Amino acid sequence: MRKRRLLSVLVAVMLVLPVSLVLTSTALAMERWVMASSGEGTFGYATATGMARMVDKYAKGVKLTVLPGYSTTATHTVYDKGEANCAYINLLSMKDAWKDMGAFAKNPLKTRVYHSLYFLSSAHTAVTTKKRTDINKLHDLIGKKFYPFYTGSGSHLLARLVLGKEGLNIWDKITERQMGPKEITDAVRTGVVDAVWLYIISGTRLTSTWQDLELRTDLRVVDPSEEEKAVISKIPGIVAPFKVDAKVFSKPIGVDPIWCMALLFGNNFGPREKAEEVYRIIKAWDEHRAELLAMNKGFAEFAERGVELTAAAIDALPEVPVHPGAARYLKEKGLWKETWKVGAVLAR
């Protein structure tokens, strides 16, 4: 009797064992990746959490976790150190990372991310209060206290490019002020700063920081003069003039449309990430843009244009290679150009 029971147990174990081995094998095959993103409460973080959910839902075999708290410059370093598989970056920080400029001049990166997917533009303009009659063009910021967003952010890099030596060459004549997002409205209202560098996501919406500012303050756009616009329009590659409907604000802002300077942002992978996984992730993001838009209206531009934004970013900075997973997807969509370069993936 005991022998029969023992035999039954052994048979049951043998039947279950192959199934358990398959489940174990599947669990082991799951890739657990980290996306370095901006701080909690920012638009970058909000988009990261939504995109991570799309990966978990549709890109089988990859689990994506968001690591918040970094600027779009610092995320390059986080990737370089091997602490992330994906970095939320902007084209200006991408240029600096690959050309050993700016924050990377003294400490060049050893491992850099490739062009992978860009999903939104951030259109920028300087604003001041309506009562300030002494700030009517960007050159009027000379001698004034100016908040160009936080140091290391894409907005800050763009401000330095537009107002610096490659642009209007007035950066050194402006007094820069730094502060936390929650301090901005009171700083403008009390005159701690004379003007701020405001951004509009995808040309359609203000983040909560700027919504608070414009609801509690009567603002006016600092519209560049025609001469300033001519100079800004010639800054190569990265900055493109971008006109935004003034209806994005709840009150009159002094001009319509608003002449802005746009910057592309995206999530980029590097040589440590296999092409197949990156392909599946980008495909999931692009094919389920409607779900992303339902989560956040800031995805409006991506919902409309898809990976065309990525193609535009590559065109703006063609010397940076494209991740092979992204290249495969762009070829399928008929957007690939033979002049673009494909990056190498490290052997495992």
Question: What 8-state DSSP symbol labels residue 230?
Answer: H
Q: How far is CA 22 from CA 18, 25, 63, 70, in A?
A: 6, 5, 19, 38
pLDDT tens per residue across span 6-16 = 444 334 434 44
Given this structure, which CATH class describes domain 121-263? alpha beta
pTM of the model: 0.77
Q: How confident is the model at residue 241 (pLDDT cuts 50, 70, 90)?
A: confident
| Nearest C-alpha neighbor of 115 from the set 346, 347, 348, 307 | 307
Where are the chain's structural domains?
Answer: 30-119+264-332, 121-263
Provide the residue type at 271 as one letter: P
CATH architecture, domain defined by 30-119+264-332: 3-Layer(aba) Sandwich (3.40)
| Nearest C-alpha neighbor of 102 from the set 156, 23, 143, 150 | 156
**Residue written as token pair 């907005």:** 155
pLDDT tens per residue across span 156-202 = 989 999 999 989 999 999 999 999 999 999 999 999 999 999 999 88
pLDDT tens per residue across span 295-339 = 988 898 999 999 999 998 998 899 999 999 999 999 999 999 999
Q: Where are the alpha helices (DSSP H) in the chain?
A: 2-29, 43-58, 74-80, 91-99, 154-163, 184-190, 208-216, 226-233, 275-287, 289-295, 300-305, 308-316, 324-332
